[in-house]
Chains A and B, each alone.
Chain A
Amino acid sequence: MDELQKLFCAYREAIPDPEPSADFTPGVWRGIDARRSSARLFRRFAQVFVAFAAVLTVLMGVVVLPYLQRAPVYRATYIDVLAEEHASEETAALADGIQQPDFANEAVTQ
């Protein structure tokens, strides 16, 4: 046995197993409960977050999306939208006194 081993053996004898205090086991259970309650708090937070996200999704699906889809651009056909746009352009042109080209008559003449 070398010097170092002897020293470690003496160290083992110098520090015997300590007697646990009367509060040791209750302290362990307090630690377990503290961790359990923080885990429970986190789980509760996660549940509330998931519930809120679900409600928001349903709300968007039932209320917001149909409301947005009620806009004329989603209800009318492509032709209707095009005609509506042209109508506004024609009105603007007439107000400025500009003659709109008559494409139909030009085609017949040619």
Chain B
Amino acid sequence: MQVEFQLIERARGGDDAAFNLIIQAYRKRILGTIARLIGRPEDVEDVGQEVFVRLYYSLDQLRTPEVFEPWLYRLTVNAAYDYLRRQRRRNESRMSDLSEQQVSMADALAGGRKSDEEQHRTRVRELVESLLRGVSEDDRILLTLKEVEGLSLKELERIYNVNENALKVRLFRARQRVLKVFESEHKAQAAGPVSGKAK
């Protein structure tokens, strides 16, 4: 726990100063999680602010301060999930506006200004992003929490309110689906650069 139970109790009682301290204690961590869940740095702060607004209005539903962190994670997951669903709907109409050539030109321009280290990070980010785009929001969030954020099964159990076995099954299936996307992207890349963009 990054804050004391007393502080959470005070915030639950309507103490705005206590809630401010909670924001300061958790904002960086929550923003990091959101950044990796949604993969769009420009929208991270908006989603993060939404998480804390939801937290403010749902603090009275918190049974005990002991479950505060899983509660905060659940709110984060829900906000990220809502964002990804909105984004998916928006992307379906927006992606057709850019031609293949425009996309590759923009990539080349962006890549030209970066150092090798940054380029490597960008490549990893793009690769993982494209893999995660190929699966559902549920799979994406579950895998990110487990594999990227490093949450334990116990922690995930408390966030998702399901037992360990059910989680293991869901994780296994999500991993299988990502691997399938990974393999199909490999095949597409091997076939040629133009068809590589097909996914």
Contact = CB atoms under 8 A, between A and B. Distances in A.
Chain A complexes with chain B? yes
Interface of A: 4-5, 7-8, 10-21, 24-25, 27-28, 31-32, 35
Interface of B: 20, 23-24, 27-29, 31-32, 35-36, 39, 41, 44-45, 48-50, 52-53, 56-57, 121-122, 124-125, 127-128, 131, 143, 147-150, 175, 178-179, 182
A25 B24 contact: yes
B45 A24 contact: yes
B45 A25 contact: no
A19 B28 contact: yes
A5 B147 contact: yes
Contact of A18 (B35, B39, B125, B150): B35
A8 B179 CA distance: 12
Nearest to B56: A32
Contact of A17 (B32, B131, B147): B32
Given A12-B150, A18-B31, 12 more contacts: A4-B182, A8-B148, A11-B124, A11-B148, A14-B122, A17-B28, A17-B31, A24-B49, A25-B23, A25-B24, A28-B49, A31-B50
Contact of A11 (B28, B44, B125): B125
Given A5-B147, A11-B36, A18 B124 contact: no
A12 B49 contact: no
Contacts of B127: 7
A92 to B, nearest CB: 74
A56 to B, nearest CB: 34
Contacts of B178: 4
A18 B41 contact: yes
Contacts of B128: 7-8, 10-11, 14
Given A12-B36, A27-B45, A27-B49, A4 B175 contact: yes
A27 to B, nearest CB: 5
B148 A24 contact: no
B124 A10 contact: yes
- Residue among B27, B127, B182 with the most chain A CB within 10 A? B27
A7 B175 CA distance: 13
B28 A15 contact: no
Contact of A8 (B32, B48, B143): B143
Contacts of B150: 12
Nearest to B57: A35
Contacts of A16: 32
Contacts of A12: 36, 148-150
Nearest to A14: B121
A28 B23 contact: yes
